[in-house]
Homo-oligomer: A and B are copies of this chain.
């Protein structure tokens, strides 16, 4: 179970405790007291991980080898999974004027069904020998998939990330020249196809910002990833509300389990997720569950809300504790710290707890950033987690005799 953005720093408003330390958390603490504890650097000490790179590490894939950008994982989150070598971008629907000056980077936070209708304008589109696929994502977001020969993700962002002129994509290396040309042509076509689109004419009448351009950014190439079931000889599933996490798990070959009410938002139905995980473990060898809510409160800078969310997570952990069988190896970890003070990810290590039958207890009695360091797991890397869990489950191969 990955508690997104759970880790934090000491907060003045909470009497210089972390939100985790300030929260009532009897179930997390039960596991800490009865399990083995430690700290994890997802990528390395002081490296600030994204949720994407950290989840790859948790699944035992080396982000330095398989991660070139967020695009492919966002695309996979919407169900668009390319093959090795395909290039994907995240896009925003945005509002531009005739001079390509961005008036609104989110086109008034346009969402479905408008976005769903707008993307049909790109059906069956090819630019030169490259097949184009556009799919809507959450709210004003979309993904762009390029498929064909000679692609590279190494181009500059079209999205100016500000109310400025739309950038021209530039190749960052010679072999990306073709991709830059295709992307620039796609952006030009998107203005041409969207500006006059009936959906936008209606939005104009309603006084809403038009979504008359798509601005690609964060390109990445689909990696040559060994599917999880093949790599570990285990079936696996992912339970997550957030599209990016689903995307990472889908690219790694996990099955995505949809849970009613698991939105990835602060209102997500956590207990439903816990029950779904318990059920899924009857059918599968491995389940990765992501709970996003704590991260959101941190990005909002709301310490009290984070404490409340953690107390709700603890109730969910109680549900797991009651429902999981003795044979299950349980691990709790955060994918990164998101300090309230920073409103963004930090490179601080995160607390890890592992519990299973026969685990050797250590002196740690509480699950938090300050206690975990006294545990017997010491300080490990994100990529070490899965080999340890596989060994605890009695599924590891022996190296030597």
Contact B384 A373 (CB under 8 A): no
Q: Answer whether residue A100 sits at the interface, using C-beta atoms and an 8 A cutoff.
A: no
Choose from B374, B375, B387, B401 the contact partner of A363 (Cβ within 8 Å).
B374
Interface SS of chain A: loop
Contact across chains for B362 and A374 when beta carbons are under 8 A apart: yes
CB of A167 within 8 Å of the partner chain: no
Q: Which of B67, B347, B386, B397 has a CB less than 8 Å from the CB of A396?
A: B347
Contact A53 B358 (CB under 8 A): no
Take A39-B378, A400-B54 as given contacts and tell me if A347 and B388 are in contact as well, using a CB distance cutoff of 8 Å.
yes
Chain B residues within 8 Å of A51, by CB: 400-401
Determine whether the beta carbon of A400 is less than 8 Å from that of B46: no
Copies in the complex: 2
Tell me if B400 and A63 are in contact (CB < 8 A). yes
Known contacts: A348-B391, A360-B18. The answer to whether A401 contacts B50 by CB under 8 A is yes
The reply to whether B398 and A50 contact each other, CB–CB distance below 8 Å, is yes
CB-CB under 8 A from A49, the residues of chain B are 398-400
In the bound assembly, the distance between CA atoms of A136 and B299 in angstroms comes to: 57
A135 at the interface (CB under 8 A from B): no
A18 contact set on B, CB distance < 8 A: 360
A339 contact set on B, CB distance < 8 A: 358
Across-interface contacts of A346 in B (CB, < 8 A): 391, 394, 396
What residues of chain B lie closer than 8 Å to A389, measured between beta carbons?
A: 46
Q: State the Cβ distance, A378 to closest chain B Cβ, in Å.
A: 3
Binary interface encoding of chain A residues 360-371 relative to chain B, with 1 for a CB under 8 A from any of its CBs, else 0: 111100000110
Closest 3 CB pairs of A and B: A50-B400, A46-B387, A373-B376
A residues touching B (Cβ–Cβ < 8 Å)?
Answer: 9-11, 18, 21, 38-39, 43-54, 63, 67, 70, 218, 244, 339, 341-342, 344-349, 358-363, 369-370, 372-380, 384, 386-391, 394, 396-401
